[in-house]
Structure 1
Amino acid sequence: MSTTFATPGVYINEINGFPNSVVPVATAVPAFIGYTPNAEYQGKSYYNKPFKINSFAEFQAIFMLPNPPPPADPARQYSPQYYLVAQKTTPTEGEYLTLSGQSYSILPDPNTIYYLYNSIRLFYQNGGGDAYIVAVGPYGPASGKPITDPTVSVINPNVQLTDLQRGLALLTKEPEPTMYICPEATLLSLNDNTTLMETMLLQAETMQTAVCIFDVIGGANPDPILYTNDIQNFRNSTGSAGLNYGVSYYPFIGTTIMQSTDIDFTNLFGGDTKQLAAILNPPSAPNPVAAQILGMIQTPPAKPLSNSQLQAALLVASPVYGQIINHVLTEANILPPSGAMAGVYAVNDQEAGVWNSPANTSIVGAVSLPIRLSDSDQENLNIDAVSGKSINAIRFFNGQGILIWGARTLDGNSQDWRYISVRRTMTFLEQSIKLAARAYVFSPNNANTWAALQSMISSFLTGVWQEGGLQGASPAAAFSVSVGLGTTMTADDLLNGYMRISVKVAVVHPAEFIVISFEQQQATSG
């Protein structure tokens, strides 16, 4: 529009020399849903409020209990309870130890088992950055007794489906998270876990911004032969909607995330040192030094020692106590892999790009697996002809250690969406272009706007192609962008205010199966 000048002088009219551009969205921002000991900062509660953090220190400041002033011991942030339960015969499953010919199973109080805290630690140990925390409530009371069957999966009655669903629903107003992770979902009953996973997949499909990373119930203590029942139960529990937005990993991983400073006598027998004394100071093998230390715990002197000092003294006085702590640590360190995988995704995207498969790489802090899968074992996980639901294996390889050995979504039979990298790349492209195109909402639906949009999107996709995110010898072979009357729109679209843009991309696929052909060649003279 022309401007009428009424005063003599010099006027400057700035004209944009460069068009709008597409700003790539973040690709590795997980949203963790679960229970925390605390959720308060500067007098404000953050329970049931998605909160973005960028470090483990920030997580501790808001979602963990404050430490008391020295010289008192730091408040325990995560205090699972374990019991040594005498067995008539040597256990064949689960963590156990044998003392003076008597076998004891290491069994947890199920009401005290939570996974979110250690999953956040694994996430940052594996290179994680920004994350959303949805704390749905504090820890519940202990039951005061262990589980009765070491072969069954732990179900924590303090973990409620309604709490986790409420936390998930809060994320409908948060478009930035690109992963939904609920480590404590495996502490639900099978039916409740089914409902939660189906709800997560439906929400992910509706929002089209995030993938769901699932853990498999039974992955902590799988039966060497009957573990396939756990796999089948998982496949039956994920429904049929939104499968290309779901990813699962199996089994759990043995980690080093919890150290000897995280477990002491307060984590044994619900803090009842009398039961511990029966093992450390039995009539058949008395240990008066250990008995004296336990007496100081039960009846503190005028100047009591701190728990860390008592713990150190017990470890010196009783080798048996050291064995107990080591076995309890082994049990407590078996964790679902979803938190670690979120960190692996973050590093993968930073170093190679979202179009690279987060596989054939290690997990920092993973030192053991509750089951070692072979090639034949993984066949049924990777490809299932009936359900088509692929499960990614975490495997041990001699000389290489523990590797992530799978790159598929739950939609394993789909030619379009079977690979994680393809699903996440398409989400990245869609959301980046969608947000950039908002600048043109209410702009004239004419050739000038169409040309500007086409140029903007093409420039962005050319950059992705140059980085290796799209396949093709040239940009023309890697993508195409169409917009305009007669190509993507009709006259009715113009009258109704619709601008339709068609974007076609050739996303790179992983080389999942590499076939090398060998044949003998006859020797030649010379």
Structure 2
Amino acid sequence: MAGAYKTPGVYIVEKNAFPNSVVEVATAVPAFVGYTRIADNKGTSLHRKPWRITSLTEFINYFGGAPDDKFTIVPKKDGDTPGDFKIGSDEYFLQRENDKPDTFRYYLYHSMQLFFQNGGGACYIVSVGTFSATGAEKPALQDGIDLLRKEQEPTMVVVPDAMSLSEGDCIALQQYSLMHCGSQMKNRFAILDVHDGYRERTDPAGDPVVAFRGDLGTNFLNFSAAYYPWLNTSIVQTTDTGFGNFVDLKAVKDLLLQAAGPNAPADFQQILAQVGDPDRDRTLKTYLSDDELHKILFSVSPVYANILLAIKRKLNLLPPAAAMAGVYTMVDNARGVWKAPANVSLASVISPAVNITHDEQEDLNVTTAGKSINAIRTFIGEGTLVWGARTLDGNSLDWRYINVRRTMIMIEESLRLATKAYVFEPNVSGTWVTIKGMADNFLTSVWKRGGLAGASAEDAFNVSVGLGATMTPEDILEGILRVTILVALSRPAEFIEITFQQQMQKS
């Protein structure tokens, strides 16, 4: 530099003492795709725009509250499955409005509640539309997944409203999610639900697990995990139900009168007379608002309370993917992405929709097709636990476990972003040494925190770069700098065997 000096004096030269460091990327930022009540940020539309939030309060502010789930009460006929509730010896079903199938509902709002209850944090919401009578549509949800291609931060993809689609459309959308994660982005993980996963595997309508495995295909399975069964939650409270959950209040009034019989008290009949009557005289002393009528009926009519309890149970049946996204977040924050997200209890969950035994789980966890499905089971004294840690690629020794796949994604993304600073730098030994030192420091940090297996750092990883080691002279002439990294990832102790044997008496 002396040749650049023109005037006598003192010149200060600062030199960097330390190499660039690798910043560990976030591992638990799910992106949820679905339908919302609104999509607005102070007058600016958020429709089809990925939006980052950190709490349920923010979700409600930007995307509104719960959907309007309305039901018609239908008497059970001979030969039908058990009804949703009973009045005396008679059974009744709660049927969706417009004769829609039972799965016709929007799951995103209640799934977000379940996500935050189970440790969820920062996430992205893609609203593909508002609530309507047509229900969820595959093209809109698929477009919502496409919108995530421009976002760098999300690391998981969850589509709760896929469960509202027909089985064929749901599988097609899940296949698209796998392609998005494993082919297009390669830096995120799909959490899948089993369509109709609230049904038993022995259900006369068919085994939902067999249908899921048979239709999903074999592409990019190591970038996803699936969970069975659905969950009976406590997300929806009794106070969240009311007159708004009925298509025809007059039919409800008639049913309550029928249940009360001809000797019903006069004041009870007077209350019922106002139910469903929009033209009732507000000037009368006996006038009650809909909210007051609902509270009185809930207090004095066991039949009305039982109907609302049945509605609450139906609304609380939710697919588990959103809860698992919350569990991934909680485990990542507490232990690290290298800890398997299993043997963890689920919050706001009463029970799995299907009780799975030890023997029944064998086919879920290990199958000749390799499509492992993680069971959610209930244990006495422990509650509802996640009892599986496998990706859908269960036959692969490389990518069998969720934490192995997600840890590798984290390491790859962290080093990829850090080495972008050296694109177009001279392809010489100085650059190679800098990159090797940067990778060594980062992987040592991961190893010290338990993310890599080995008694020493040398056993846990190895970084190679240089002419003759990873590159040929032709590579350098073509502008290619190759770095080879070997890592020993920690795997969960899925099966613990304890051997007992009798020994001779010694005294």
Whether these two folds match at TM > 0.5 is yes
Q: 1:173 aligns with which of 141, 147, 150?
A: 150
Tell me the residue number matched to 2:504.
522
Tell me the residue number matched to 2:88.
100
Paired-residue identity, %: 44
Distance 1:237 1:290 in 2: 54
Q: Secondary structure at the match of 1:136?
A: strand
> Would you say 1:80 and 2:57 are equivalent positions?
no
1:22-44 alpha-carbon deviations (Å, 9 max, x no partner): 00000010000000010011111
Aligned amino acid, residue 82 of structure 1 = F
1:453-486 alpha-carbon deviations (Å, 9 max, x no partner): 0000000000100000000000000000001111
Q: Summarize the Cα distance change of 1:479–1:88 in structure 2 as closer, same or farther, 3 Å threshold.
A: same
Unaligned 5+ residue runs, structure 2?
A: none
Aligned amino acid, residue 282 of structure 2 = A
Q: 1:135 aligns with which of 127, 152, 158?
A: 127
Pairing 1:221-236 to 2, within 5 Å after superposition: 221-222=199-200, 224-225=202-203, 229-236=207-214
Tell me the residue number matched to 1:69.
none
Q: Summarize the Cα distance change of 1:395–1:429 in structure 2 as closer, same or farther, 3 Å threshold.
A: same
Q: 1:454 aligns with which of 436, 448, 451?
A: 436
Tell me the residue number matched to 1:302.
282
Tell me the residue number matched to 1:188.
165
Tell me the residue number matched to 2:401.
419
Tell me the residue number matched to 1:159.
136
Tell me the residue number matched to 1:199.
176
Tell me the residue number matched to 2:8.
8
Q: Summarize the Cα distance change of 1:430–1:501 in structure 2 as closer, same or farther, 3 Å threshold.
A: same
Distance 1:473 1:118 in 2: 45
Q: Secondary structure at the match of 1:468?
A: coil
Distance 1:429 1:306 in 2: 60
Distance 1:85 1:96 in 2: 10
Q: Summarize the Cα distance change of 1:287–1:500 in structure 2 as closer, same or farther, 3 Å threshold.
A: farther
Aligned amino acid, residue 169 of structure 2 = D
Q: Secondary structure at the match of 1:200?
A: helix
> Would you say 1:275 and 2:257 are equivalent positions?
no
Cα shift at 1:278? 1.4
Q: Secondary structure at the match of 1:35?
A: strand
> Would you say 1:56 and 2:38 are equivalent positions?
no
> Would you say 1:396 and 2:345 are equivalent positions?
no
Cα shift at 1:325? 0.8
Q: 2:187 aligns with which of 179, 200, 209?
A: 209
Report the more deviating stretch, 482-491 or 78-87. 78-87
Q: Secondary structure at the match of 1:213?
A: strand
Distance 2:397 2:329 in 1: 25
Q: 2:110 aligns with which of 106, 118, 129?
A: 118
8 Å Cα contact 1:470/1:505 also seen in 2: yes
Cα shift at 1:100? 2.2
Cα shift at 1:84? 2.2
Aligned amino acid, residue 114 of structure 2 = L
Q: 1:357 aligns with which of 331, 336, 340?
A: 340
Tell me the residue number matched to 1:43.
43
1:295-330 alpha-carbon deviations (Å, 9 max, x no partner): 334235427755443321111121111111111101
8 Å Cα contact 2:230/2:317 also seen in 1: yes
Q: Summarize the Cα distance change of 1:294–1:348 in structure 2 as closer, same or farther, 3 Å threshold.
A: same
Q: Secondary structure at the match of 2:4?
A: coil
Distance 2:324 2:77 in 1: 39
> Would you say 1:328 and 2:305 are equivalent positions?
no
Q: Secondary structure at the match of 1:107?
A: strand
Q: Summarize the Cα distance change of 1:103–1:524 in structure 2 as closer, same or farther, 3 Å threshold.
A: same
Cα shift at 1:47? 0.7
Aligned amino acid, residue 308 of structure 2 = I
Distance 1:343 1:288 in 2: 51
8 Å Cα contact 2:452/2:487 also seen in 1: yes
Q: Summarize the Cα distance change of 1:292–1:444 in structure 2 as closer, same or farther, 3 Å threshold.
A: farther
Distance 1:363 1:353 in 2: 18
Aligned amino acid, residue 99 of structure 1 = I
Report the more deviating stretch, 374-383 or 97-106. 97-106
Aligned amino acid, residue 213 of structure 1 = I
Tell me the residue number matched to 1:479.
461
Aligned amino acid, residue 145 of structure 2 = L
1:33-75 alpha-carbon deviations (Å, 9 max, x no partner): 000010011111111111111111111111016xxxxxxxxxx
8 Å Cα contact 1:458/1:481 also seen in 2: yes
Tell me the residue number matched to 1:317.
300
Q: Summarize the Cα distance change of 1:79–1:524 in structure 2 as closer, same or farther, 3 Å threshold.
A: same
Q: Summarize the Cα distance change of 1:191–1:224 in structure 2 as closer, same or farther, 3 Å threshold.
A: closer
8 Å Cα contact 1:359/1:405 also seen in 2: yes
8 Å Cα contact 2:105/2:135 also seen in 1: no
Distance 2:268 2:396 in 1: 62
Q: Secondary structure at the match of 2:68?
A: coil
Unaligned 5+ residue runs, structure 1?
A: 66-76, 142-156
Distance 1:468 1:170 in 2: 35
Q: Secondary structure at the match of 1:23?
A: coil
Tell me the residue number matched to 2:27.
27
Distance 1:393 1:91 in 2: 29
Aligned amino acid, residue 141 of structure 2 = L
8 Å Cα contact 1:224/1:371 also seen in 2: no
Aligned amino acid, residue 459 of structure 1 = N
Q: Summarize the Cα distance change of 1:91–1:470 in structure 2 as closer, same or farther, 3 Å threshold.
A: same
8 Å Cα contact 2:135/2:164 also seen in 1: no
8 Å Cα contact 2:156/2:189 also seen in 1: yes
Cα shift at 1:11? 2.0
Aligned amino acid, residue 331 of structure 2 = N
Aligned amino acid, residue 14 of structure 1 = E
8 Å Cα contact 1:244/1:423 also seen in 2: yes
Tell me the residue number matched to 1:428.
410
Pairing 1:358-373 to 2, within 5 Å after superposition: 358-373=341-356
Distance 1:475 1:228 in 2: 51
Q: How many positions carry a matched residue from both structures?
A: 495
Q: Summarize the Cα distance change of 1:288–1:411 in structure 2 as closer, same or farther, 3 Å threshold.
A: farther
Cα shift at 1:3? 5.7
Distance 2:364 2:245 in 1: 36
8 Å Cα contact 1:281/1:287 also seen in 2: no
For the aligned residue pairs, the C-alpha RMSD in angstroms reads: 1.8
Cα shift at 1:428? 0.6
1:154-208 alpha-carbon deviations (Å, 9 max, x no partner): xxx5211100110001111112111100011121112111211111111111211
Cα shift at 1:226? 5.1
TM-score under structure 2 length normalisation: 0.94
